[in-house]
Chains A and B, each alone.
Chain A
Amino acid sequence: MALVACLALPFAVLRPNRIVAGVSHAVWSAGGFGLLLVAACLAGAVASVATLRRRGSWLLAAASAITVVLAWALGAAASTLLRGAAPFARVSIGGGAWLALAGAAVLWFAGAHGERGRWALGVSSSVATLGLLGAGAFGGLGRLSIAVEYANQGPQFWQLVGTHLAVAGTALGIAMVIGVPFGVVCARAPRVRAVVLAVVGIIQTVPSLALLGLLIVPLAALGLPGIGPLPGIIALTLYALLPIVRDTYVGLAGVDAAIVDAGRGMGMSRSQLLLRVEAPLALPLVIEGIRSAAVLVIGIAAVVAFIGVGTLGQLIFLGIGQTADDLVLLGAVPMVVLAIAADGALRLLSRALVSPGIREAAS
């Protein structure tokens, strides 16, 4: 399907300048690389049908091949299309190319799921990364519109990424410090649980922009600014609370009563029971809660750009304001990458921390 899409839909778009709509070009505009890309997509399709669920390494190989060839093909297309065009002309990534990339991602995740050995994962990701970097340096990928936007932003881009991570990370950290104990209290005291879960649940239903607006009032009463990093972090923390509190509570409540009884009957104190028995058993769910919170917070951190915090959201709002699609992408794509990275890191953390005795049951 990705193959068909990649052939039928426009591959690259040539525009006279960064704002106005442009002319679509098919995959052939990339010349030889275009043919290669079609071949790689074909290989991916074959691999996915032939090795369904069996050898993940073939899927990984196909995915990295598609990614690398796609990057070079886009670079080639950009170079070809811009040859002889006006100086302000831009080449954007077309729908076909996006779909091919999405297809590669699907293949990659399917392969990563089926592959038990780690080396195939490592090799395929390094090949894809090297291929991308190579295309960026030598293959003309740097001439695509999104890369031009990146170059225009310069060091400010990385500053935005840094702020984005700092704001999201701080909020997540505070939410963990507050949320986990609240989850424990919820598991211990049914009356408190009803109140706490209701409150964090209600917070979750408030739209993010509305929450930022609402926060101005109490902050002003305390003599604190209603814009800037402080309210931003407060809002993000509030959003992160629900998954963390809820999953900590569910994790603890799910511990088999007989296990707790055995622990008590052998003379464990309340805190020993919590630390040595209940916490390790609830850990998979606690980490799961933190994972959901992390992904959520990385997303919502874009919105706090509205109150003057320099997150990646700033690029998105700027891009929308200027109707510069590729600037929007420059903000959105790294956010997706950050969310996926955080998700993956916390999954790995879970693997490392959760006892092998309960690992399978937890996932």
Chain B
Amino acid sequence: MITLEHVSKHYGETVAVDDLSLEVAQGEVCVLIGPSGCGKTTTLRMINRLIEPTSGRILVDGHDVTSVSPEQLRRGLGYAIQSVGLFPHVTVAGNIMTVPRLLGWDRPHMQARVQELLALVGLDPAEYSDKYPRQLSGGEAQRVGVARALAADPPVLLMDEPFGAVDPLTRERLQAEFARIQKELRKSVIFVTHDVDEAIRLADRIALMRDGHLQQYDTPEALLDHPATKFVHDFMGADRALKRLGRVRVSDVMRNEVPTMQDGSGAETMAQRASCAESRFVYIVDAGGRLEGWFDCVAFREGRVARDAITSVDWREAAVRPDTSLKEALSRMLGQGFRSIAVVDGDGRLLGDVALAGIEETMTAGDAYITHAGGEPEVDV
């Protein structure tokens, strides 16, 4: 548990953080969000005493952070930053062992931990242990950064825009993995971001800041449905129904039974098989069940030759994963101009699909605003 009591930080005339009080429960993710310069980083760095507050008190698990030396404190708080800051002269394994080494773990213990953590963040230990940071892609470096922060199994994780410097597709994967890891490990996390979608997706609670002040501290649903101020309302954005989809995962609404047929049977045979299918699209998979494309029955019936009714795709681009957010799935679907999108596992095996209709259902069930079209919630300003 992390508690901030009336914490302020002044830089001369500038007030970076003003009388901030905040409590993060054990095992919860608190996302600090707000416009650039609102004091998020300053707040985070006061918790591990990289910055000393001008006034106020910070407690971690009931103990004042000033009751131990800064070094000792920091070894117990995982720390991951946007620029990652991996040590370039040390291998991936060596980077992950940083804190365990400071804590004096023995070597076999550290090596076992490296294996465990690399597997946890989705990197093959045999392949990555001995690489140097410059040999990693941005996404891989971020994963190693997270593994390094988790190395000594700290109860608290402090993360400053950890996925800020990677491309959107990689960020989406990293967010999904983070959600999975957090579900497993249940750390108390303070996560800084300026990306509202990221906040909505990952947060148990969102702390929205502005000019060093806390504007609202509540669940993502509450910030979307009952914004405390006009600023909160505006910052969360007008497309709130859409934003809420960020909290639902594809696996929650996906259709598991989808018509498929094996590739290699020839276009004409496929056409015959497809003609008796009920749905418009029949997915084409290879012998291992990997998605290869689909057959458009309507296009076929409209008199096109069978070959033209087949669309071949790369599953990495044309499909989503079960842990993708619905918002992301919807935007991918619309981006490709289809009314449904395939769902595959990490190896490309077809698991099912998500249809626009299914998403619509979720929106109406969970969100009153959709049914009363155009109805904006009352906002107290």
User: Hey, which bits of chain A sit against chain B, CB under 8 A?
Assistant: 256, 258-269, 272, 277, 280-281, 354-358, 360-361
Contacts and interface: CB of A to CB of B under 8 A. Distances in A.
A106 to B, nearest CB: 33
A256 B70 CA distance: 22
Given A258-B81, A357-B133, A357-B134, A264 B90 contact: no
B151 to A, nearest CB: 9
Interface residues of B, number: 30
Contact of B74 (A259, A260, A266): A266
Contact of A262 (B45, B70, B85): B85
Contacts of B319: none
Contacts of B72: 267
A190 B111 CA distance: 41
Q: Top 4 closest A-B pairs, CB basis?
A: A262-B85, A357-B132, A267-B75, A267-B74
A265 B74 contact: yes
A294 B31 CA distance: 55
A357 B102 contact: no
A268 B87 contact: no
Interface in B90-106: 90-91, 98-99, 102
B88 A267 contact: no
Contacts of A263: 85, 87, 98
Contact of B50 (A261, A280, A358, A360): A261
B59 interface: no
A261 B74 contact: no
Contacts of B74: 264-267
A267 B90 CA distance: 17
A258 B70 CA distance: 18
Nearest to B45: A265
B79 A357 contact: no
Q: Which of A260, A266, A280, A360 has the most CB of B within 10 A?
A: A266
Nearest to A360: B134
B195 interface: no
Contact of A259 (B85, B148, B149): B85
Interface string B152-196: 000000100000000000000000000000000000000000000
B71 interface: yes
Interface string B127-156: 000001110000000000000110000000
A358 B89 contact: yes
28 contacts: A256-B83, A259-B85, A259-B88, A260-B85, A261-B81, A261-B85, A262-B79, A262-B86, A262-B87, A263-B87, A264-B74, A265-B45, A265-B81, A266-B74, A266-B75, A267-B73, A268-B98, A269-B71, A354-B89, A355-B88, A355-B132, A357-B89, A357-B91, A357-B132, A357-B133, A357-B134, A358-B88, A360-B134
A266 B84 contact: no
B3 interface: no
Given A267-B99, A272-B102, A357-B90, A258 B73 contact: no
A336 to B, nearest CB: 35
B160 to A, nearest CB: 9
B102 A258 contact: no
A210 B122 CA distance: 66
Given A258-B81, A261-B85, A266 B98 contact: yes
Contacts of B75: 266-267
Contact of A266 (B91, B99, B134): B99
